[in-house]
Amino acid sequence: NSNATKESAYLRASTYWRVSLMYFNSTDDERLAEYSQNSLDCYHKYLKVSDIDATYVELPYENTFMPAHFYKSPATGDNAPLMILTPGRDTFAEDTAWIYRQALKRGIHCLVYDGPGQGFALRMNGITFRHDIENVITPIIDYCLENYDCIDEDNIILFGISFGGFLVPRAAINDERVSMCIVDPGNINWGGAFAERLAMIEKMPKRIRPAQLDFMLEDYIYKHGATADTICDELRKFDNTDIIDDLDCMTIVMDGTSEMTQGEAKVFYDMLDCEKEYLLFDEDSGSQMHAQMGGYATASELLLDLVEKHL
């Protein structure tokens, strides 16, 4: 019955509920909202018995909200950097624990949220993806600066993981308050590549189309609030090719030798015309997989060493 045991149990329970929803897109199934709430409840019980100084936040968004948590670092004073973490296409804000827990130890406050198309924002409030992410992240920065007086306004960091790594550069380009942008990994034209794949799937006769491809198509339609006729055009909006030259803050590009999109992060890095760092993980690090899955301890240590160097 120790706090450590409770902490582990609640965190695992929250994770089990959450993962059960990762590839579940039956929007008319009541379990979607029920399991989401169960996961959040368990996560809040975990935070209550942990030593993490966390505040649950419902970030205003149009006529609803995006669920988020503000984590205050215990290792700093009242004027510390803020890292805003954007998770991936299929994951949840809570899946970023590998980085926010280490950032807190380094004296960096963190705001972690489920944005449009992600996590509980999608599953509980029906908020679907949008390509103009600056209209999401700029209001988040506004909210943090208005509500927390412990933030150093000159050190605001955006960190995007997987699909989040594609999204955040556009937000950094459109908000001069962002001092550092971290992409894990980098990608210039995420939407174009997936639009081509889905277009090929749609051309395949349904009678011979594998069920897995049908699900993939349905999942993209669901998360982007599109239809079979509009999904490819919607995905093509997710292209930063024409604006990437405007990125002018310090940018860290993470990559792995076993990344899913081989070579894309290096292409992204080479196109940047700003202060930049390229952080490549290979098999010796154990962090070479997509977004460092399976090697989070090493990845977070090396990344945050680099972040501290440029603060």
**pLDDT beyond 90 at 1:** no
Identify which of 236, 231, 234, 200 has the alpha carbon closest to the alpha carbon of residue 218.
231
C-alpha 51/C-alpha 69 separation (Å) is 15
Task: List, for residues 128-152, the tens digit of each pLDDT value.
Answer: 999 999 999 999 999 999 999 999 9
Helix (H) or strand (E) holding 152: strand 151-161
Confidence class for position 77, pLDDT limits 50, 70, 90: confident
Task: Round the average pLDDT of the chain to a whole number and report it.
Answer: 95
Distance of CA 183 to the CA centre of its chain: 10
Percent of the chain, pLDDT > 90? 90
pLDDT at 141: 98
C-alpha 71/C-alpha 24 separation (Å) is 29
Q: Which residues of 260-272 are buried (b: 16+ CB within 10 A; e: fewer)?
A: ebeebbbebbeeb
**pLDDT beyond 90 at 243:** yes
Q: Which two tokens stand for residue 9?
A: 């149990």
pLDDT at 3: 82
Identify which of 189, 138, 127, 137 has the alpha carbon closest to the alpha carbon of residue 163.
189
**pLDDT beyond 80 at 65:** yes
Task: List, for residues 193-238, the tens digit of each pLDDT value.
Answer: 899 999 999 999 988 999 999 999 999 999 999 999 999 999 999 9
**Cβ-Cβ contacts under 8 Å for 52 (sequence gap 6 or more):** 71, 101, 104
pLDDT at 4: 85
pTM listed for this prediction: 0.95
Give the C-alpha distances (Å, rounded to integers) separating 211 from 89, 199, 225, 228: 21, 16, 21, 16
